[in-house]
Amino acid sequence: MPHSTHAAQTSADRLKALIERQEQPVVMNRGIERETLRTDGSARLSLTPHPASLGNKLTHPSITTDFSESQLELITPVFQSVDALLHDLTATHQFVTRQLGKERLWPGSMPCILPDEQAIPLADYGLSNLGRLKKAYRNGLGLRYNRIMQTICAVHYNFSMSDADWDGLRSIESRDEERPKFVARRYFDLMRNFRRWSWLPLYLFGASPAVDRSFLTTKQQSLFSQLDADTFYLPFATSLRSGDLGYQSHIQSDHIYTCYNSLADYAESLRQAITTPHADYEHLAERHGAAAQISPHILQSEAEFYTSVRAKTAAPPGENFLKHLLRQGPTYIEIRLLDVNPFTDIGVTAEQIHFLDLFLLHCLLSDSPRHDPALCDEVQSNFRQTVTEGRRHDIPLLNRGTHVSLGDWGKQLLDALSPLAERLDHSAQSSRYSEALATMTERVNNPDQTPSGQILAMLTGESISLRQLMQRQSERFHEALVKQPWPGDLNEAFTQSVAQSHDAAKTYPDSDDHHFLEYLDEFVAAYRLAP
pLDDT tens, 19-51?
A: 888 778 899 999 999 999 999 989 999 999 999
Contact 143, 251 (CB under 8 A): no
Residue 531 lies in a domain: no
- pLDDT bin (cut points 50, 70, 90) of residue 7 is very low
What is the DSSP code (8-state) at residue 62? Answer: S
**Tally of domains in the chain:** 1
SS3 content of the chain, % helix, strand, coil (to 5): 55, 15, 35
Q: How many CB atoms lie within 10 A of CB 180?
A: 14
- pLDDT bin (cut points 50, 70, 90) of residue 256 is confident
User: What is the predicted pLDDT for the residue at 461?
Assistant: 96
Mean local confidence (pLDDT), 465-493: 97
Mean pLDDT of the chain: 94
Residue 2 lies in a domain: no
Residue 6 above 90 pLDDT? Answer: no
Domain region containing 162: 11-526
Dump pLDDT digits (tens) for 173-204: 866 888 899 999 999 999 999 999 999 999 99
Residue 1 lies in a domain: no
Q: Which of 309, 338, 454 is nearest to 391 (CA)?
A: 454
Lowest mean pLDDT among 91-95, 117-121, 131-135, 511-515: 511-515
Residue 57 lies in a domain: yes
CA distance 177 to 371: 22
CA distance 180 to 103: 47
User: What is the predicted pLDDT for the residue at 22?
Assistant: 79
Residue 419 above 70 pLDDT? Answer: yes
Residue 96 lies in a domain: yes
CATH of the domain at 459: 3.30.590.20
Residue 183 lies in a domain: yes
CA distance 155 to 162: 23
User: What is the predicted pLDDT for the residue at 1?
Assistant: 37
Lowest mean pLDDT among 8-12, 252-256, 314-318: 252-256
Residue 276 lies in a domain: yes
Residue 5 lies in a domain: no
In this structure, the dihedral spanned by the alpha carbons of residues 109, 243, 310 and 266, taken in order and rounded to 10 degrees, is -160
